[in-house]
Amino acid sequence: MEETVPRASDFLRSWRQRRRLSQLDCALEANISQRHLSFIESGRATPSRDMLLHLAECLDIPLRERNAALLAAGFAPVYPERRLDDPMMSGAREAVDRLLKGHEPFPALAIDRHWNLLAANAALAPLLIEVEDRDLLAPPANVLRLSLHPRGLAPRIANPPEWRVHLLERLRRQIATTQDEALSGLLVELAGYPSDTARHEASAEHGAVLVPLRLKTQRGELSLISTTTVFGTPRDILLSEIAIEAFFPADAATRQILEAWPAVSSASA
């Protein structure tokens, strides 16, 4: 059976629908007529390269998918995808390294669009000492798999129902935004891990400000909250997909444990 190749019009219509925009709303956002947009989506009008990029910007389509839409329309892709160690990425790599190093003695890591670990600071390693299946740490280590796998960090997590629900919901939102098939497969895998708390959502402290990661370690229980940092104006596909997850102590006891951790202290010296 011959595979159907998506047209640029298919990309645009699909992403408009994912963004829950009517044709009229999208046309107003793009400053074009609804009739023009309708003709583009139906294939009755062929958009120029600039119009494709303009609509992609209005719809906040990921750079990777913008390239796919350009190719479907017969244009060359415009967004490069370089490795993080590429000489042209030196500024971005330095920014990532500075963010990770500057966050010590608290853990921070850089991940790609599939939650694969790209880099981490010295504060992460002590938290992974008791991971039973060391293969989970082999590159490319997947952070979500490492967190929820029964032979990964899962046995060390003191609030597994709360943290599991948080991670799976976050992954579902990402899939809804990107329609990434690899992430969909990852979700099926993670949701299939043995757990009697898969549907448990009542464990969260509803008066709490954030969902913490409560992690049992050799030096005591840590309570960590996290922030996510992304590049503000990426023009490279990899940079547009990198996220830095930085963990902060949620209480004074966690701060004291992390600040006194020998491995981190010596690495920062």
For the chain, which domains are there?
8-72 (1.10.260.40), 87-268 (3.30.450.180)
pLDDT at 233: 87
Other beta carbons within 10 angstroms of residue 14's beta carbon come to 17
Taking the C-alpha atoms of residue 200 and residue 164, their distance in angstroms, rounded to an integer, is 9
| Low-confidence residues of the chain: pLDDT under 70 | 1-5, 196-209, 263-269
pLDDT at 226: 94
Per-residue pLDDT of 60-82, as tens digits, reads: 999 999 999 999 999 999 999 99
CA distances to 54, 119, 161, 243 from 110, rounded to whole Å, are 30, 5, 25, 6
3-state helix, strand, coil in the chain (%, to 5): 50, 15, 40
Encoded amino acid at 233, one letter: T
